[in-house]
Structure 1
Amino acid sequence: MKKIILRILVLILVGKNGLAQNNKVELAIGEKVSKLIKLGDSDSYQIELKKNQFALLNLKQIGIDLKITTYAPNDKEIEEFDSPNGNNGNEIILIDALSNGRYEIKVTTLGEDKKYKKGNYEIKLIGINDSVKSHLNNTLKTLYDRNHIPGFGVSILNAEKILYQNAMGYANMKDKVPYTIETVQNIASISKTFIGLSLMKLVEQEKLTLDTPINELLPFKIVNPYFPNNLITIRHLATHTSTINEQGFYHKAYILQDKEALGKYDYHKHFLKELNSAKKNKRLPMSDFLKRHLSVEGKDFKKKSFFKAKPGEDWYYSNTGAALAALIVEYVSGVPYDEFVQQNILNPLQLESAAWSGKVTDKYTLATQYDFRRNPLPKRTIVTYPDGEMYINISDLSKYVMSYINGNIGKNGIVGNVYLKEMMKVQHEQMEGDFKGRRDGLFWEHSKSGVMGHSGGDYGVSAFMYLDPTTNLGFTYVCNIMPLESDYSNAESRSIWAVLKRYANFIHRSN
């Protein structure tokens, strides 16, 4: 009888996954627990939360790859946390309490690399918050403190107002100039959305159609030499299906302004190659550059500047295709492209900080751009400036996204609602090849996650601008560094973006 009773007691004490309930360590705010863990082992921790509270924890991996799983008070699994940072690095852990009770945090070894049979970790409960804004502030601060990004700005917004915005770090690291919500920086390819909006303005004015062949609007002829009878249209330029292959000449569009900076810093070979190329380039008017490389009449025209594909069929991202579209805006409107955007977009939306490269006013702090080693990058401009040289701060970028949300809910803005929706709707879906599943509007991206907008990444810049068409919430993120895929700053940027989207609805409900 004693043995039976003992077995019953053991079964009562043993919880899910075979872990004794009294083995769960209670975490206190601010306390750091350090542990040695062997391959195949797991540890469990718990915290007490009230409904609608938010918990923030951090786990530092030291020599072993770990997975963290959170459980609700009813023992139901909530979420797994496992960033692609291998055996070392930090995992941020977030719990959004939907009920009162004790929440479990289980730490498990992954064992993907068998040679690492043991390692250490440190886990810390950073804070518990009743306010989602305070929680988001603390989470972003924790991510920033990893020290991989110089400075960044974020925002969450709806059709009427900015619900949340924040900025951290430095616009200039050497001079300790803070990065604020008013700091202006380049947004790279998000600049292309201004081309899309400009085109729709001309469509609304009946000065062109999306299916107008570009050779009816340009003073020089452009055709794909492999398919000369298949005319390239405005729609093809705006959906990146024009078949332009710029890989052999686009680097010639960059102009290095600060040539003396090359010898001052230890730049990665990726950046050094670009900088040395830009150092040799000579500035040309945008129309001359495009004609030179894309028109059969051009001095440097090559057949390989086009893919062996029919225009309109396949997606090939093209910066010069975007620049051609901007040039068409100039020719059709009779106004230089930068002036057209100023008069028809920036002024009506009151985007006071927005300006093209070299035209940012002294009223705003301009963010220094850094490589992933945090070396300041020398200033450079690009001949095809409409495809990636818009500068703006996070507050005005948020107002810009609002204009698209208002269009999505049926309101008129810079252009009539019908024309804005035409720009945002899917115009091309790639059905095969490396980019199968890719969906695009007119200089407008549709993500597999359901959000739409545009991103930008270039020389010392990373930027995101998206909206959720189902909730009509928007979010933006910009930082003054361009992370490489394998770099910690890339993982940090992805984490910031994921956290922003995670709490968008919470922020919306709290306003």
Structure 2
Amino acid sequence: MKNRILKICLVLISVLIVWGVYVVLKPEPKTIAGLMESYENPGIKIKIRSPFSGTVLVAKKGEVIFKEAYGLSNRETNEENEVDTKYGIGSVTKQFTAMLVMQLVEEGKLKLQDTIGYYLPYLPEEKANHITIHQLLTHTSGLAHYFALPAIGVNLSDFRKTKYTPKELVQLIGKTNMIAKPGEQFYYSSLGYDVLGAIIEEVSGKPFADFLDEKIVKPLQLKNTGFASNEYISNELAKGYAYREVYGLDWWTSEHGGEIREAPFRDQSTAYAAGGMHSTVEDLFIWSEAIKSHKLLSPELTKIMLSPDKKGHCYGWVRNWDDIVEKNINARLYGHGGALTGNSAYIGMYDDGTTIIYLANINNLKAEEILHQLYLRANDLKDDYKLKGYPNRSSYEKFIAAGGMTALKDYFQRLSEYSGYTVNPSNSTMRGVMKIHLEAGKQKVADSLKTVFLNTYNPNETTINDFGYDFLYSDNSNYALQFFIENTKRYPFSSNVWDSLGEAYLTYKDYDSAIDCYKKAVELGEQVNHRSLEDYKENLKKAESLNKS
């Protein structure tokens, strides 16, 4: 019996090895159709994070050369996606919001340098009298992204389920903590675009959906685009799904090596002008052509709208997304992606006339890989244009052998030149380089990297916390404390950062310091009735108990 089981196991292992070799050695498809089919099935799915389910359109110089749908729009009924299937487009909505603002500018009804308090006087003074419309459009307002809500005691899960009027949503945003002075730094903020939506309604005197319909949808005769109700989204759009990979025994019964679940409900009022619209690839192609031909906005104001500010961000668009440029140093484009739980979208307009649009109802997709591979096939190019010289950082020895910090600096300097704005190494790269230097006993280099990261990247509290926890549970646990302490200095009114610092002290068995931090977390948590308040109290009891023992 044991021998039979052993033989079965050996056969299964052999099958897996053969299948793995086949996947690795199988040549990548040469056509757009072949590429998308491979993304739909397990073939090279891993390169885009999730199996593709959605619709793709590729055009060259105004002519559509490819248009096809894949996967299911409803997995319960097995209804298939079609070319005219409507999807949530997430932050691609920001392009439309920016256009509505610019149309109001063209009509002389608002000015880009106006402060937002002129239109929304109920906002707190620090925001009302200092943030301009231009800063909201370019993500330089100092407003945070959604992570600012838990800091004021708003559970993100509850937030997504709650219905807000535009004024109620803006009043909530008004309570969030600023993360920079207006105009100083780039911080991507959907909350900023929600404020723009409220301003549009205030100036136009119409609901966002109606003004969008009047100024963009009807003039362009878009048949399947708009901002609609929860009921419409539920009944008329492809259902959204989330995918996660599974391993071990679960792999055998999985679909495409993962688990697919229906995305949770989100009230449209919370997505609003930052991410609540829906569309089709055909409508978005009409939209992209209208941008180029100035059907909705004068050439002068279109130029302003598409002028990059910090980090390449224009008004609702990004110029030369560095993740795409890194894969093809000759690529020049305007684009923007969108991602809701269960939806992924991207529209890219390349300078050479290539337009690529995809809409999907399974997330999370790796947009830069999809865009890059589609662009190569649309233009019959080989994959020979990657930026070269990225040093190996798997170990200190290999990193130094590849040129070390000099090579890393040179790589990102060249990427910045190709992109047209400063591109820094990613958070994970910085963290990894710090680790290999610490492991090699190069404390001073690691410290200098930490200083550069904290002062140049201006990371938010979530990012700093992530660094802290990553070091806390690594071979360099002592290094974690510096990040947690820095977080409390930068975000002293966040109960969560004090709780995290308390956990670090608890790990180091510094119970007195842990108690002080947990008390601070409880104090701040009580002020906003934080969702984790009871956890803070339990952590405090635990620290006090350990201190007595």
Does the CA-based 8 Å contact 2:39-2:51 persist in structure 1? no
Q: Verify: 1:353 aligned to 2:224, yes or no.
A: yes
1:155 and 2:26 are equivalent in the alignment? no
| Residue 25 (structure 2) pairs with residue 137 (structure 1) | no
Q: What is the 5 A alignment of 1:16-415?
A: 62=17, 123-124=25-26, 135-146=31-42, 148-149=50-51, 151-158=53-60, 160-224=62-126, 231-247=130-146, 250=149, 275=157, 277-278=158-159, 282-294=162-174, 301=175, 305-307=177-179, 309-358=180-229, 366-372=237-243, 373-384=259-270, 385-404=272-291, 406=292, 411-415=293-297
CA distance, structure 2, for counterparts of residue 197 and residue 458 of structure 1: 21
Residue 126 of structure 2: SS of its match in structure 1? coil
CA distance in 2, matches of 1:121, 1:337: 48
Aligned partner of 2:297: which letter? V
Q: What's the counterpart of residue 482 of structure 1? A: 363
User: Could you tell me which residue of structure 2 aligns to residue 74 of structure 1?
Assistant: none
Question: 1: CA distance between counterparts of 2:267 and 2:298?
Answer: 33
Match of 2:253 in 1: none
**Contact in 2 for aligned 1:150/1:481 (Cα 8 Å):** yes
Over 6 Å off, 4+ runs = 119-122, 359-362
Instruction: Tell me the CA shift for residue 397 of structure 1.
Output: 1.5
Residue 396 of structure 1, CA deviation: 0.9
Contact 2:73 2:361 (8 Å CA) reproduced: yes
Write 1 or 2 for the structure with the bigger share of strand: 1
**Residue identity in the other structure for 1:415:** L
Distance 1:315 1:178, change over 3 A: same
Tell me how far apart the structure 1 counterparts of residues 28 and 136 of structure 2 sit (CA, whole Å): 49
Amino acid at match of 2:139: H
Partner of 1:466: 348
Amino acid of the structure 1 residue aligned with 2:265: K
1:123-180 deviations in Å (ceiling 9; x for gaps): 44688xxxx8xx3212211221227426111111245343321111111122111111
Question: 1:220–1:393: structure 2 CA closer, same or farther, 3 Å change rule?
Answer: same
Q: 1:365 to 1:251 in 2, by over 3 A?
A: farther
Is residue 323 of structure 2 the alignment partner of residue 441 of structure 1? Answer: no
Q: Which structure features the higher share of helix residues?
A: 2
Q: 1:251 and 1:416 mapped to 2: Cα distance? A: 41
**What is the Cα deviation at residue 289 of structure 1?**
2.2
Check whether the contact 1:150–1:374 (CA below 8 A) recurs between aligned residues: no
The one of 377, 382, 391 aligned to 1:503: 377
8 Å Cα contact 1:184-1:392 kept in structure 2: yes
Deviation of 1:61 (Å)? 9.2
SS of residue matched to 2:262: coil
When the two structures are superposed, what TM-score results if normalisation uses the length of structure 2? Answer: 0.56
Q: What is the number of equivalent residue pairs in this alignment? A: 337
Q: Retained in 2: the 8 A contact 1:354–1:360?
A: no
Q: 1:391 to 1:123 in 2, by over 3 A?
A: same
Distance, in Å, in 2 between the alignment partners of 1:292 and 1:123 is: 53
Match of 2:535 in 1: none
- Residues 201-220 of structure 1 show CA distances to partners (whole Å, capped at 9, x for unaligned) of 01111111211111122232
Distance 1:142 1:460, change over 3 A: same
What whole-Å deviation, never above 9, does each CA across 1:487-511 have from its counterpart, x for those lacking one? xxx46x654332211123349xxxx
Q: Deviations over 1:50-97 (max 9, x none)?
A: xxxxxxxxxx9949xxxxxxxxxxxxxxxxxxxxxxxx96xxxxxxxx
In structure 1, give the amino acid aligned to 2:36.
Answer: L
1:275-312 CA-partner distances (Å, limit 9, x unpaired): 4x357x54221112212440xxxxxx35xx211x3211
SS at 1:348 equivalent? coil
SS in 1 for 2:260: coil
Cα shift readout 1:328-349 (whole Å, capped 9, x = no counterpart): 1111122221111100001111
- 1:498 and 1:472 mapped to 2: Cα distance? 15
Change in 2 beyond 3 A, CA 1:246/1:378: closer
Distance between the aligned counterparts of 1:121 and 1:213, measured in 2?
Answer: 56
User: Aligned in 2, Cα 1:480/1:235: closer, same or farther, shift over 3 Å?
Assistant: same
CA distance in 1, matches of 2:284, 2:89: 9
C-alpha separation between the residues in 2 aligned to 1:464 and 1:61?
35
Residue 456 in structure 1 maps to residue 338 in structure 2: yes
Q: Is the 8 A contact 1:192 1:322 kept in 2?
A: yes
RMSD across aligned positions (CA): 3.4
Verify the 8 A CA contact 2:36 2:52 in the aligned structure 1: no
CA distance in 2, matches of 1:243, 1:212: 16
Q: Which amino acid aligns with 2:317?
A: W
- For 1:106, the equivalent position in structure 2 comes to none
Contact 2:143–2:192 under 8 Å retained in 1: yes
Given the superposition, is the C-alpha separation of residues 251 and 179 from structure 1 closer, same or farther in structure 2, using an over 3 Å criterion? farther
Alpha-carbon deviation of 1:457?
1.3
Q: Distance in 2 between matches of 1:180 and 1:252?
A: 42
Q: Which residue of 2 aligns with 1:92?
A: none
- In the alignment, structure 1 segments of 5+ residues that lack a partner are 1-35, 37-59, 64-87, 90-118, 256-272, 295-300, 430-437, 484-489
Letter in 1 for 2:205: G
TM-superposition CA deviations, 1:244-278 (whole Å, max 9, x none): 1244554799x9xxxxxxxxxxxxxxxxx854x35
**Conserved in 2, the CA contact under 8 Å of 1:183 and 1:393?**
yes
Question: Displacement, 1:466?
Answer: 1.1
Are residues 159 and 346 of structure 1, via their aligned partners in 2, closer, same or farther at CA, if it must alter by over 3 Å? farther
